[in-house]
Structure 1
Protein backbone atom coordinates (compact mmCIF):
# COMPACT_ATOMS: atom_id res chain seq x y z
CA UNK A 1 0.00 0.00 0.00
CA UNK A 2 1.53 3.31 -1.05
CA UNK A 3 1.46 6.42 1.09
CA UNK A 4 -0.77 9.28 -0.04
CA UNK A 5 0.76 12.05 -2.09
CA UNK A 6 1.48 15.07 0.11
CA UNK A 7 -0.87 17.99 -0.37
CA UNK A 8 0.73 20.82 -2.37
CA UNK A 9 0.10 24.32 -1.04
CA UNK A 10 1.64 27.73 -1.61
CA UNK A 11 3.77 27.06 1.47
CA UNK A 12 5.01 23.69 0.18
CA UNK A 13 5.74 24.88 -3.36
CA UNK A 14 9.39 25.58 -3.98
CA UNK A 15 9.87 29.35 -3.59
CA UNK A 16 10.72 29.66 -7.26
CA UNK A 17 7.45 27.93 -8.24
CA UNK A 18 5.36 30.09 -5.90
CA UNK A 19 7.14 33.15 -7.27
CA UNK A 20 6.43 32.09 -10.84
CA UNK A 21 2.75 31.56 -10.02
CA UNK A 22 2.52 35.01 -8.43
CA UNK A 23 4.39 36.51 -11.39
CA UNK A 24 1.92 34.84 -13.76
CA UNK A 25 -0.98 36.61 -12.07
CA UNK A 26 0.88 39.94 -11.99
CA UNK A 27 1.63 39.61 -15.72
CA UNK A 28 -2.09 39.05 -16.36
CA UNK A 29 -2.92 42.30 -14.55
CA UNK A 30 -0.16 44.23 -16.34
CA UNK A 31 -1.28 42.94 -19.75
CA UNK A 32 -4.83 43.98 -18.90
CA UNK A 33 -3.67 47.49 -17.95
CA UNK A 34 -1.38 47.76 -20.96
CA UNK A 35 -4.22 46.77 -23.27
CA UNK A 36 -6.46 49.42 -21.73
CA UNK A 37 -3.73 52.00 -22.03
CA UNK A 38 -3.09 51.16 -25.69
CA UNK A 39 -6.80 51.17 -26.53
CA UNK A 40 -7.80 54.37 -24.80
CA UNK A 41 -4.78 56.49 -23.87
CA UNK A 42 -2.03 55.39 -26.26
CA UNK A 43 -0.56 58.86 -26.69
CA UNK A 44 0.06 59.32 -22.97
CA UNK A 45 2.96 58.20 -20.77
CA UNK A 46 3.56 54.57 -19.83
CA UNK A 47 2.94 55.68 -16.23
CA UNK A 48 -0.73 55.57 -17.20
CA UNK A 49 -0.40 51.78 -17.39
CA UNK A 50 0.64 51.73 -13.74
CA UNK A 51 -2.19 54.10 -12.83
CA UNK A 52 -4.61 51.67 -14.47
CA UNK A 53 -2.94 48.62 -12.93
CA UNK A 54 -2.39 49.65 -9.30
CA UNK A 55 -5.88 48.82 -7.93
CA UNK A 56 -5.76 45.39 -9.55
CA UNK A 57 -2.18 44.73 -8.44
CA UNK A 58 -3.14 45.55 -4.84
CA UNK A 59 -6.20 43.30 -5.16
CA UNK A 60 -4.08 40.50 -6.64
CA UNK A 61 -1.65 40.76 -3.74
CA UNK A 62 -4.57 40.54 -1.29
CA UNK A 63 -5.84 37.47 -3.12
CA UNK A 64 -2.40 35.90 -2.78
CA UNK A 65 -2.41 36.58 0.95
CA UNK A 66 -5.66 34.62 1.03
CA UNK A 67 -4.02 31.72 -0.84
CA UNK A 68 -1.20 31.62 1.68
CA UNK A 69 -3.59 31.93 4.62
CA UNK A 70 -5.80 29.12 3.28
CA UNK A 71 -2.77 27.01 2.23
CA UNK A 72 -4.11 26.51 -1.28
CA UNK A 73 -1.99 25.29 -4.18
CA UNK A 74 -1.61 28.40 -6.33
CA UNK A 75 -1.46 26.30 -9.51
CA UNK A 76 -4.94 24.86 -9.04
CA UNK A 77 -7.87 26.40 -10.89
CA UNK A 78 -10.27 25.72 -8.01
CA UNK A 79 -10.11 27.22 -5.48
CA UNK A 80 -6.90 29.23 -6.00
CA UNK A 81 -7.32 30.46 -9.57
CA UNK A 82 -10.96 31.39 -9.16
CA UNK A 83 -10.18 33.16 -5.87
CA UNK A 84 -7.34 35.18 -7.37
CA UNK A 85 -9.41 36.05 -10.45
CA UNK A 86 -12.56 37.16 -8.65
CA UNK A 87 -10.76 38.90 -5.79
CA UNK A 88 -8.58 40.78 -8.26
CA UNK A 89 -11.67 41.83 -10.21
CA UNK A 90 -13.97 42.78 -7.31
CA UNK A 91 -11.42 44.45 -5.02
CA UNK A 92 -9.66 46.05 -7.99
CA UNK A 93 -12.92 47.59 -9.19
CA UNK A 94 -13.75 48.79 -5.67
CA UNK A 95 -10.33 50.44 -5.35
CA UNK A 96 -10.69 51.94 -8.81
CA UNK A 97 -14.09 53.35 -7.89
CA UNK A 98 -12.99 54.90 -4.58
CA UNK A 99 -9.95 56.42 -6.31
CA UNK A 100 -12.24 58.34 -8.65
CA UNK A 101 -11.77 56.27 -11.80
CA UNK A 102 -14.70 55.06 -13.90
CA UNK A 103 -16.26 51.63 -13.86
CA UNK A 104 -18.46 51.60 -16.96
CA UNK A 105 -20.40 48.42 -17.77
CA UNK A 106 -18.27 47.64 -20.83
CA UNK A 107 -15.10 47.99 -18.71
CA UNK A 108 -16.56 45.66 -16.07
CA UNK A 109 -17.34 43.02 -18.68
CA UNK A 110 -14.02 43.28 -20.53
CA UNK A 111 -12.00 43.19 -17.33
CA UNK A 112 -13.92 40.24 -15.87
CA UNK A 113 -13.49 38.24 -19.07
CA UNK A 114 -9.85 39.20 -19.71
CA UNK A 115 -8.69 38.56 -16.15
CA UNK A 116 -10.63 35.30 -16.06
CA UNK A 117 -9.25 34.01 -19.34
CA UNK A 118 -5.67 34.90 -18.48
CA UNK A 119 -5.59 33.97 -14.78
CA UNK A 120 -7.42 30.70 -15.32
CA UNK A 121 -5.78 30.17 -18.71
CA UNK A 122 -2.18 30.08 -17.48
CA UNK A 123 -3.22 27.59 -14.81
CA UNK A 124 -4.84 25.36 -17.45
CA UNK A 125 -1.71 25.52 -19.59
CA UNK A 126 0.51 24.75 -16.58
CA UNK A 127 -1.74 21.83 -15.64
CA UNK A 128 -1.46 20.35 -19.12
CA UNK A 129 2.29 20.76 -19.03
CA UNK A 130 2.56 18.95 -15.67
CA UNK A 131 0.75 15.88 -17.03
Structure 2
Protein backbone atom coordinates (compact mmCIF):
# COMPACT_ATOMS: atom_id res chain seq x y z
CA UNK A 1 0.00 0.00 0.00
CA UNK A 2 2.87 2.36 0.80
CA UNK A 3 3.91 2.10 -2.83
CA UNK A 4 0.56 3.49 -4.03
CA UNK A 5 0.15 6.14 -1.32
CA UNK A 6 1.51 9.06 -3.43
CA UNK A 7 -0.93 8.25 -6.26
CA UNK A 8 -3.82 8.05 -3.80
CA UNK A 9 -2.81 11.38 -2.24
CA UNK A 10 -2.65 13.01 -5.68
CA UNK A 11 -6.03 11.59 -6.70
CA UNK A 12 -7.67 12.75 -3.46
CA UNK A 13 -6.23 16.22 -3.89
CA UNK A 14 -7.49 16.47 -7.47
CA UNK A 15 -10.95 15.42 -6.29
CA UNK A 16 -10.81 17.98 -3.45
CA UNK A 17 -9.74 20.64 -5.98
CA UNK A 18 -12.77 19.79 -8.12
CA UNK A 19 -15.12 19.75 -5.14
CA UNK A 20 -13.85 23.14 -3.94
CA UNK A 21 -14.53 24.59 -7.38
CA UNK A 22 -18.10 23.33 -7.30
CA UNK A 23 -18.63 24.62 -3.77
CA UNK A 24 -17.25 28.04 -4.71
CA UNK A 25 -19.86 28.26 -7.49
CA UNK A 26 -22.71 27.00 -5.29
CA UNK A 27 -23.08 23.83 -7.36
CA UNK A 28 -23.96 20.39 -6.06
CA UNK A 29 -20.78 18.49 -5.29
CA UNK A 30 -22.40 15.06 -5.57
CA UNK A 31 -24.05 15.84 -8.89
CA UNK A 32 -21.17 17.77 -10.44
CA UNK A 33 -18.07 15.99 -9.16
CA UNK A 34 -17.77 13.29 -11.83
CA UNK A 35 -18.22 15.81 -14.67
CA UNK A 36 -15.81 18.29 -13.11
CA UNK A 37 -13.11 15.92 -11.88
CA UNK A 38 -12.72 13.45 -14.75
CA UNK A 39 -10.59 15.67 -17.06
CA UNK A 40 -8.12 16.37 -14.27
CA UNK A 41 -8.06 12.75 -13.10
CA UNK A 42 -7.23 11.64 -16.66
CA UNK A 43 -4.50 14.30 -16.84
CA UNK A 44 -3.19 13.04 -13.49
CA UNK A 45 -3.05 9.46 -14.77
CA UNK A 46 -1.18 10.61 -17.88
CA UNK A 47 1.30 12.48 -15.68
CA UNK A 48 1.87 9.39 -13.56
CA UNK A 49 2.43 7.36 -16.73
CA UNK A 50 4.93 9.89 -18.05
CA UNK A 51 6.88 9.94 -14.78
CA UNK A 52 6.98 6.16 -14.75
CA UNK A 53 8.36 6.12 -18.31
CA UNK A 54 10.93 8.82 -17.45
CA UNK A 55 12.10 6.76 -14.48
CA UNK A 56 12.49 3.49 -16.38
CA UNK A 57 15.76 1.94 -15.53
CA UNK A 58 16.22 4.34 -12.62
CA UNK A 59 14.72 4.51 -9.19
CA UNK A 60 11.16 5.82 -9.44
CA UNK A 61 10.57 8.53 -6.83
CA UNK A 62 6.97 9.73 -7.08
CA UNK A 63 7.43 11.98 -4.04
CA UNK A 64 10.24 13.97 -5.68
CA UNK A 65 9.43 17.52 -6.79
CA UNK A 66 11.51 17.01 -9.93
CA UNK A 67 10.73 15.43 -12.27
CA UNK A 68 7.75 13.58 -10.78
CA UNK A 69 5.90 16.44 -9.09
CA UNK A 70 6.38 18.96 -11.89
CA UNK A 71 5.44 16.48 -14.63
CA UNK A 72 2.38 15.26 -12.72
CA UNK A 73 1.25 18.84 -11.98
CA UNK A 74 1.76 20.03 -15.57
CA UNK A 75 0.06 16.98 -17.02
CA UNK A 76 -2.89 17.30 -14.66
CA UNK A 77 -3.30 20.97 -15.51
CA UNK A 78 -2.76 20.83 -19.28
CA UNK A 79 -4.52 17.50 -19.76
CA UNK A 80 -7.42 18.66 -17.64
CA UNK A 81 -7.81 21.91 -19.56
CA UNK A 82 -7.58 20.23 -22.96
CA UNK A 83 -10.16 17.61 -21.98
CA UNK A 84 -12.43 20.29 -20.50
CA UNK A 85 -12.24 22.25 -23.75
CA UNK A 86 -12.92 19.18 -25.90
CA UNK A 87 -15.88 18.18 -23.72
CA UNK A 88 -17.43 21.66 -23.85
CA UNK A 89 -16.55 22.72 -20.30
CA UNK A 90 -15.15 26.14 -19.47
CA UNK A 91 -11.48 27.09 -19.77
CA UNK A 92 -11.55 30.80 -19.02
CA UNK A 93 -8.15 32.38 -18.41
CA UNK A 94 -9.08 33.20 -14.82
CA UNK A 95 -10.00 29.54 -14.24
CA UNK A 96 -6.70 28.39 -15.76
CA UNK A 97 -4.78 30.68 -13.41
CA UNK A 98 -6.71 29.49 -10.36
CA UNK A 99 -6.40 25.84 -11.42
CA UNK A 100 -2.65 26.18 -12.04
CA UNK A 101 -2.15 27.79 -8.65
CA UNK A 102 -4.32 25.44 -6.59
CA UNK A 103 -3.07 22.30 -8.33
CA UNK A 104 0.52 23.45 -7.81
CA UNK A 105 -0.18 24.10 -4.14
CA UNK A 106 -1.81 20.68 -3.77
CA UNK A 107 0.36 18.45 -5.99
CA UNK A 108 3.69 20.13 -5.32
CA UNK A 109 2.97 21.34 -1.79
CA UNK A 110 2.68 17.95 -0.17
CA UNK A 111 5.83 16.80 -1.96
CA UNK A 112 7.72 19.86 -0.70
CA UNK A 113 6.44 19.20 2.83
CA UNK A 114 7.66 15.59 2.67
CA UNK A 115 11.05 16.78 1.43
CA UNK A 116 11.36 19.26 4.32
CA UNK A 117 10.29 16.67 6.88
CA UNK A 118 12.82 14.14 5.61
Structure 1 length as normaliser, TM-score?
0.82
State the match for 1:23 in structure 2: 8
Q: How far apart in 2 are the matches of 1:52 and 1:111?
A: 12
Which 4+ runs in 1 deviate beyond 2 A?
Answer: none
- 2:41 aligned partner: 57
Per-residue CA shift, 1:79-103, capped at 9, x if unaligned?
A: 1100000110001100000000011
Contact kept? 1:33, 1:52, Cα under 8 Å: yes
Aligned 1:69-80 pairs, distance under 5 A: 69-71=53-55, 72-80=60-68
Judging changes above 3 Å, is the alpha-carbon distance between structure 1 residues 41 and 50 closer, same or farther for their aligned structure 2 residues? farther
**2: CA distance between counterparts of 1:32 and 1:116?**
11
Query: Structure 2 vs 1, CA of residues 45 and 126 (structure 1 numbering), >3 Å: closer, same or farther?
Result: closer
Distance 2:77 2:9 in 1: 16
> Once superposed, what is the RMSD of the aligned Cα atoms?
1.2
- 1:122 is aligned to 110
Q: Distance in 2 between matches of 1:122 and 1:50?
A: 24
Which residue in 1 is equivalent to 2:20? Answer: 35
Measure, in 1, the Cα distance between the counterparts of 2:92 and 2:66. Answer: 29
Q: How does 1:2-21 map to 2 (within 5 A)?
A: 16-21=1-6
**Structure 2 gap segments, 5+ residues each:** none
* Equivalent position SS for 1:46: helix
The normalised TM-score by structure 2 is 0.90
Bigger proportion of residues as helix: 2
Aligned to 2:100: 112
Number of matched residues? 114
